[in-house]
């Protein structure tokens, strides 16, 4: 079976091909060099990620390790951002809880809120790997199924279409096409694995 370097090499080849096709198509259709360049870069990135994504279900794979690392960073960033955005309300809640529980707390509510946020972030980071295990299941399961990946990509493209509904038609088309190139990358991967069946 192909390993990460093989999937990455063919992912780069696919990225170049989709970048040229998407960039060229956007340039011809919408006559915008900036849109074509952005679409080409997005298509290249999405195709490459698609070419390595299916192995996220393999516990020791490089894509899995990178995905878990990225998700952990997102979790910490998200929890930290939420705490920072609502820090005053969080401090008030902690202050009330400290007074109700401890009477006269020996620590400031700000310190307790910061420490509590850190504990929640660390606990949640610990849940990332088991959650990825639960979602991905067995190796060569749904992440290696062209029909499942097509449906997931179509749902994601539909979501992107909805999120970009207030943008120009050109930008919406570019965004949805870029998402679609992820599926092409996935096809590269599962074809290399010999999992692409008619």
pLDDT in tens, 99-158: 887 776 678 889 989 999 999 999 999 999 999 999 998 888 899 999 999 999 999 999
CA atoms of 121 and 83, how far apart (whole Å): 10
This prediction has a pTM of: 0.79
**Rounded CA separation 86/114 (Å):** 12
């Amino acid at each position: 079976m192909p390993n990460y370097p093989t999937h990455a090499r063919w992912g780069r080849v696919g990225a170049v091909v989709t970048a040229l096709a998407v960039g060229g198509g956007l340039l011809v259709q919408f006559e915008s060099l900036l849109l074509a360049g952005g679409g080409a870069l997005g298509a290249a990135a999405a195709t490459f990620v698609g070419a390595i994504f299916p192995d996220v279900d393999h516990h020791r794979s490089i894509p899995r390790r990178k995905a878990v690392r990225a998700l952990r960073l997102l979790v910490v960033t998200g929890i930290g951002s939420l705490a920072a955005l609502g820090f005053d309300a969080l401090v008030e809640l902690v202050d009330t809880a400290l007074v109700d529980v401890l009477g006269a707390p020996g620590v400031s509510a700000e310190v307790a809120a910061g420490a509590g946020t850190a504990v929640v972030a660390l606990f949640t980071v610990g849940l990332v790997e088991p959650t990825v295990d639960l979602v991905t299941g067995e190796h060569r399961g749904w992440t290696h199924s062209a029909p499942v990946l097509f449906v997931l990509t179509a749902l994601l493209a539909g979501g992107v279409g909805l999120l970009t509904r207030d943008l120009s038609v050109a930008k919406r088309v570019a965004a949805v096409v870029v998402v679609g190139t992820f599926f092409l990358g996935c096809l590269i991967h599962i074809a290399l694995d010999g999992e692409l069946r008619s």
